[in-house]
Structure 1
Amino acid sequence: MAGETKYRDIVREIALDQYGYVTTRDATEAGVPAVELPKLAARGGLENVAYGLYRVPDALPTPYDQFAEALLRVGEGAYLHGESVLALLGLGDVNPRRIKVATRRRARPRLPAFVELTKVRVGASARFYEGLASQSVADALLECRGRIETQELLNAAEQARGEGLLTTAEWQRVRKEIAS
C-alpha cells in the first residue's frame, strides 16, 4: 500500500505539470512501473483516457486541457499548428472545430474527432506557449492565409506584437506577407 501511495504521488506530480495528464512513458521515466497505472486507474486514482494516456480525476480544468490532450495523444514531437496556435493564445476571433496537431514523423494513433493530424516537413520547429509545443505565432499566422480574412489576421498579428509574441523582424515579415 505504501508503494501505491508513492506511485500515485509521483504520477500526480507529473500530471499536474501537464494539465492533469500523464503518459505511461512519463511515468516509467519517473520510476513508476507501467503495470501500476492500470492498477491506479482501477482504484480511481487515474482515469484511462486512451492507450498509454491517463488523467488525474481531481485536476482542476483549464482552457488548455484539450490542447494538452491532443498533443499527448499524438505523441512525441507533436505540436499545435495553424489556427490552433491562435486559439490557444486567444489571438483574433478564431475558434477552430478541431485542434490541429502537426508532427514530423509518421503517427497513426486513434484520435478523437476533435483532433486533426498533419504531417509536416522536417525543417519546421516548435516553440512553447503555456507549456505546450506549438508552431511559432509568426508561422501560424502565415499558415492561416486563405482560411482567415486578411484583416482578421492583421489584427491578430498586431495583438500578438502587443503581447510580445512576435519579434520586430517577425512582425514586419508577417505584416508584409499577409498584406501581399
Structure 2
Amino acid sequence: MILFFVPVLAVLALIAAGVVFAAAWPFLSKPDLEANRFGPPSETRTPMQAVVSGFARSLDFTGRSNRMDFWSFAIFIAAGAFASLVLLFALGWYLLNAGIRWDLGVALIAIVPMMLAGAYVAIACLSMAVRRLHDVNTSGWLVLLLLVFGYFILLYLFLKPSRAGADETARAFG
C-alpha cells in the first residue's frame, strides 16, 4: 500500500516544481545584455540549457549566471533531491518487507553512490551561487555568509536583477 504513494508523491513534487517554475518564468527570462566587472552575461536562454550549463560548469567559479540560470538549476536540484529521498525510502521499505537485512554491504551499495553524487551536486551548487553573485557585481566570497547568518541577505542578492552598466564599472575602476 505504501509503495503506491511513493510514485504519487514524486509526481506531485514534480508538478509543484513545475508550478513554481511557471510562476517564476516572467522574472527569470529577463535578458541580461550589459557587461559588468566579472565578464559577459550568461549565454543560456532556456531552463534546460541552464541546468546543463550548471553541471557542465560545476568546477568553474568564474564568470556569471543570470537569475534564470540560478533558479532553474536550484529547482532542478530540489526536485532531484526529493526524488532521490523518495527512491531511498522506497528501497528501504522494499528491503524491509523482503526480509533482506541492512548489513554493511547493502548500506555501502545504497548510500555511497548517493554520498558521492551529493558531494558533486554541493560543489555545483556552490559554483552556481558564486557565479550568481558575480552577476549582481558582488564578490563570490559572500557565499560564506551561509556559514553564519546570511540566508536572507543571499536570497536578496540571488533575486536581484543583473547589474548593468559598463560605464559605472569603468568609472569605479577606471
Q: Give your verdict on TM over 0.5.
A: no
Larger RCO, structure (CA 8 Å, separation 6 or more): 2
Point out the structure with max Rg over C-alpha.
2
TM-score, structure 2 length as denominator? 0.31
Higher strand residue share: 1
Task: Identify the structure with the greater helix proportion.
Answer: 2
TM-score (norm 1): 0.30
